[in-house]
Every structure is written in structure tokens, then in C-alpha cells.
Structure 1
């Protein structure tokens, strides 16, 4: 095959391009009925897969409580160091396309039980060893066990508590 043969073949393909485009357009208009549902099916499949792969990390979460001492007064550098360590704990859990972010998230909860303020750190069980080493210097860390208990749902109250008679008056 010579250079002239290659050039002649390229010119012939270039001249046939409008015919190829017309054939592709005819095929597309004839088969558009199944091209529209394909992205919908793919999106639903990916959503179902992400939900299924996200169940296990959400069930297997570990919690640790930080109990401050009476002289606990961290400086800004300690707070920033602690925040950076928590961010590294989330990155230590490998994520891939189907594992949702909410399954690998590290959560910090401030709890007050009996007047004592504690901070609870929750994360995936795979990051428990990293979470166990994150603490302030003047705090005691203890393992709590499974992260979410049904009795520990947050309760938010704003303003003064209203008695039942004033609540019924407001509802009317």
C-alpha cells in the first residue's frame, strides 16, 4: 500500500461521511424509544446499589466518649489538632464508588447526662483504631460500643416549656 492509496482511501471516507451521518440519524430516530429509559434504569440501579452497600457501614459503627477533667481548658491549637485528627480518621476508611459518604462519616455529639458534658465520637468500625487515639490531653477516652442506641435520640427544646393548657390555647 502506497501513500497515494492511503490518501485516496481517506478522501473516499471523507466523501462518505454525510451518508454515514444520515444512516446514524435514521437509526437513532428509529430506536429512540429504548434510548430514553436506559439512563433512568442505570440511575435507579446505581441508587439501589449505593443503598445496599451503605447498610453495613451504618450498622457497624463504633462510639467513644471523651470525658473532660475538671481542669480541661484547651487552647485553639489543641482544638485544631483534634479536628485534623478526626478528618484523618474519616479518610482512613477506604471509600469506593458505591459506599455512601454517610456510612464513612465521623460524627461528633455533645451530650449532657446528669450535668456532666461529654463528647461522643462515632465512626465506622473499620476506623475504630484511628478514633481510639484521637483525644485531648486532659480528657479520658472510653469505648461506648455500638454508636446509635434508640434511647439516645436527640431532644431539642427551644424556649420555656409550655404547660398543656397554654399549648391547647395556642393550637386553637
Structure 2
């Protein structure tokens, strides 16, 4: 059995890498390629994006999936792309501003994190909130990038109770 080493990478570097991979795959890529990838992940597939060589010369596989189960309405490529572009822009701004970016994990899933920066967009009068979920594999050198939609109504309830809407 292969001896796996746990390698950590500075959080801002990791987020920058994730932002760049998602940007290349969906924003920078030709529309037909990006739309094809979107259709695959929207259908529930996990797609391999790339292998990244780390500083110690080890390789880490980056995959992508999409969780749109909380999206209100019928999600299409244009709405997804707008949400993702907003999320990536907000992440870049937070990194550039030196903001301490929160992340959240479930007690029973420590390898699954939700990055606490949001991308809020409105399509046909209905808001949507996208975040980036990152799942690391316990036994393989693999990372799953999973943009996911959250129930926007929870933020409306929070605001009504005196909280803030996400950025």
C-alpha cells in the first residue's frame, strides 16, 4: 500500500489555486467547452479537472462537482456562470484585502469544508447564494471542488432577525 503523506498548503495559496482552476474551466474556457462541463456536473457527474504538481513534486488530482439542490428555480448555464463569476470575484477580493476567510466543517465530515465567502446573484427576481465546498480525500491525493448553492431564504430569515446578508 502506498505511503500517503499529508501535505498542507497555505490557505490563501490553495484558494488562489482553486479560483484559478474554476476560472479556467468555466469563465476563461470557450463557451462550448465550459457549457459542456457545466452540463456534466449539473447532471451529477464528478469530473477530473487537472493534476497539480506540488512544491515537493507530489501530484494532487483536482475534481469538480456541483451541488444545485438548493437552487430556487431552473438552473441554466448562464445563471450558474454568473453565480460562479460573482463567487470567484468575491474570493479574490477577500484574499487581496487580507480578509480572514472563515470556513465551516461538519463534526462528522472533517475533510469537507465550506468556504465562508458567498456569491449572491438574482435571476428572474429570485436570489441565489453560491459558496465553494472543498472536500479532500482521506486516502488519495485528491481534492474535490464543489460549488454549491445554499437556501437563500435562510439568509433572508437571518436578515429579518437582525443579521447580515452574505457578500
The TM tier, using the shorter chain, reads under 0.3
Q: Give the strand-richer structure, 1 or 2.
A: 2
Q: Give the helix-richer structure, 1 or 2.
A: 1
TM-score (norm 2): 0.26
User: Rg: which structure is higher?
Assistant: 1
